[in-house]
Chains A and B, each alone.
Chain A
């Protein structure tokens, strides 16, 4: 059996699956249930400063988009940080940590951008026995209007400043949670690193309007006829999150900085992808909110089975394995040639590959052959774009097959070159021409 034990910046947990700071981690009742279900750790829902707690709207907090069969693909929310009293949360955190000493318990914190505010709350949190803190610089709605959350996360200088305070006033490991609502994710990551953060976690939710009610013309979720942008999460955001994680993992300035991966993780496969792209562990929320805490069992067994099948013994064997393969476009091998191949035994003859190629791409797939409905790739037209693979409803019916060096590419009339060659040296690249001259 693969060893799934996780050590993330010194915080130990029996597996790399943590619940992200969010509604599922707002109180002891939920967190106890999560630990019973098998979650390795929990980032407690964000604590605010002492005093009257924030208030939430009393109408709907969530909006959504769905795929076929009403599968939830994307969720957004306009809920704020915890609306419970600070001391109630701290008391419950302490009790839960005592009950579950082998699980990770992290406190998410968001207080005003003022040194004294951070100085005040950190000892209170430390007293609970929490394993670490996560700085919520990501929340894109409500709190950001009050100068917190994403309002801090969008200004690298503020991030660096707050991280520095935290490192100064607590012995606990500091995880800085980043907002994706920014042009270049590397900037806030670098700032967090400069401030001395132990790790970053990302992504927080994305500014979004999920839908508009066409009867009332109100954005959803609608509060008395009005809507506000909310934080978008769920399977739909995974590709955005993966890219941002990879950007930080391969940036020379942040290389090696521990990352807790977040964003649409729904299955073991999603989790494994984050891990191999450089995350040291993962955080999950929407999948649990959609299906309940039990899904962690699928994640644990799935990751374990895959690791066993591939001979990976521990998380260290897989973390970051895909990072060297993330490249800038200009370094991709332009001599690599692939063609789509349709498995005629698997083909159900829906014609979607044909019409996608015919209407919107390269006219490289037949509809009829000898008068019979038959879908086949014309290699002399196929540019290998992969669209047909993506629109085909049958998995593995269409695959991309790389041409062996030395074989003829019927489209270009050229023999496939075994040598690697990229855009930087391509004769059509004006920059390359200048260099040659």
Chain B
């Protein structure tokens, strides 16, 4: 086997190499490391990190709680704003959010390690199964949450806290959405996504029904007739097509499927990968796929992106990570045609591109990269079938500031709504805020009439 066998094959590495390659990228801080790291926080007033956090976690407070030996109180501060604070601590692009805003950058160019500190506190609370929330008195109301991803889970948890009953319908085998299927393995090891789902559900009052797909197993109207309100946290189920010759050849694969298969594999030795892999795209998905292809033992992995480095959606940190793992990132290359031999991928022909008056054009020059495995990470799309008359814009659901859609009793959040940022943490914020809005709406509807004397 090894890295030099041509073709898409599994088992390129020894079990020990797989274990090493797919272990935790940033292991949890130990107590001493956490105390040293937390000492660097200045406890800023109206802290810029907090403003930069989509869920507005009180970061100075939770770090101060760590520094005074109170990690449980710290976790409580985090979960109050973000019940998926454990996953966000692992997957948030902190270098473009809280840690970018950290005032330590100004004088020292090195922020407080907010993400790792958040993981420290939440890991302790979850390890000890400390529960911070109790359900309010039952309201007798029932809400359907469609999609058990970050938005749906955050919404369901907040609704359960308010005393409502929640049923989550999810199309997949397991709950968690992208947390379970869409994140690189080395960012969330040891079945953390499922542990987090269990932790969220331990509040009670939330039932999950798996393998239940909107449009196939039920309709939106079914939900509206059975429940008092509906929250749509559908995510992006579709992927963009390449629209290039040879796209159907064996060896052309969607990066999201590749990543999902990796997450569901115990040993990784059963996941096939090419000798020479080309990944198309410039976002986090492209980097996650490319790095993991390399970690699976591919000899050469090249990311081809049709614009420049500055346009890449993958953060600087992710790009550096890819480079450090031996992935080559090439810019200004746009796929023209998949080259095949015997129905299998043999390479990819690419157009060189340039910006002309702000418009991306091909220069006429082309190049070929030899490849036996092409992974497409050129964007995901929202599949809006089965949503009836709901208002859409740019192919996404339109919501108001509270997450309410154009339909009565229907709220939405996460990647499926217009303005969604393709971030776990933003999805959590939208789910949480929609739950508050649903709760207000249901309370207003049942407000007893008070006689005014």
- Interface residue ranges, A against B (CB under 8 Å): 68-70, 346-352, 354-355, 367, 373, 393-394
Contact = CB atoms under 8 A, between A and B. Distances in A.
A349 B42 contact: no
Contact of B106 (A349, A354, A367): A349
5 contacts: A348-B106, A350-B47, A351-B45, A354-B45, A367-B45
A109 B104 CA distance: 51
Interface in B3-41: 35-36, 39
B39 A348 contact: no
A397 to B, nearest CB: 9
Nearest to A359: B45
Interface of B: 35-36, 39, 42-48, 103-104, 106-107
Contacts of B45: 350-352, 354-355, 367
A350 B35 contact: no
Chain A CB within 10 A, most for which of B42, B45, B46, B107: B45
Contact of B44 (A68, A69, A70, A352): A352
Contacts of B36: 69
B107 A70 contact: no
B39 A68 contact: yes
Contacts of A373: 46, 48
Contacts of A68: 39
B48 A352 contact: no
Nearest to A375: B45
A318 to B, nearest CB: 33
B107 to A, nearest CB: 5
Contacts of B47: 350-351
Contacts of B103: 348-350
Most B C-beta atoms less than 10 A away, residue of A347, A350, A354, A367: A350
A350 B44 CA distance: 5
A348 B105 CA distance: 8
Most-contacted residue by chain B among A68, A70, A346, A367 (CB, 10 A): A68
B106 A393 contact: no
A348 B107 contact: yes
A128 B144 CA distance: 91
A349 B43 CA distance: 12
A347 B47 CA distance: 14
B39 A69 contact: yes
Contacts of A351: 44-47
A9 to B, nearest CB: 44
Contacts of A355: 45-46
Contacts of A367: 45-46
Nearest to A356: B45
Contacts of B42: 350, 352, 393
A48 to B, nearest CB: 41
Contacts of A352: 42-45
Nearest to A355: B45
Contact of A70 (B35, B43, B48): B35
Given A350-B103, A351-B47, 8 more contacts: A68-B39, A349-B44, A349-B48, A350-B44, A352-B43, A367-B46, A393-B42, A394-B107
B226 to A, nearest CB: 47
A79 B107 CA distance: 44
Nearest to B51: A373
A175 to B, nearest CB: 40
Contacts of A347: 106
Nearest to B38: A68
A435 to B, nearest CB: 47
B412 to A, nearest CB: 31
Nearest to A69: B39
A348 B101 CA distance: 11
Nearest to A373: B48
Contacts of A393: 42
Nearest to B103: A348
B311 to A, nearest CB: 28
B92 to A, nearest CB: 22
A70 to B, nearest CB: 7
Contacts of A350: 42, 44-45, 47, 103
Question: Which 8 A-B pairs have CB atoms at the shortest separation, nearest pair first?
Answer: A351-B45, A355-B45, A348-B106, A348-B103, A350-B44, A68-B39, A350-B42, A350-B103
A354 to B, nearest CB: 6
A222 B43 CA distance: 33
Nearest to A392: B42
Contacts of B106: 347-349
Contacts of A69: 36, 39
B58 to A, nearest CB: 14
Nearest to B32: A70
A395 to B, nearest CB: 10
A134 B92 CA distance: 63
A394 B107 CA distance: 8
B405 to A, nearest CB: 32
Nearest to A353: B45
A367 B35 CA distance: 30
Contacts of B44: 349-352
Nearest to B47: A351
A374 B393 CA distance: 38
B46 to A, nearest CB: 6
Contacts of B39: 68-69
A70 B31 CA distance: 13
A351 to B, nearest CB: 3
A68 B112 CA distance: 14
Contacts of A70: 35
A367 B51 CA distance: 14
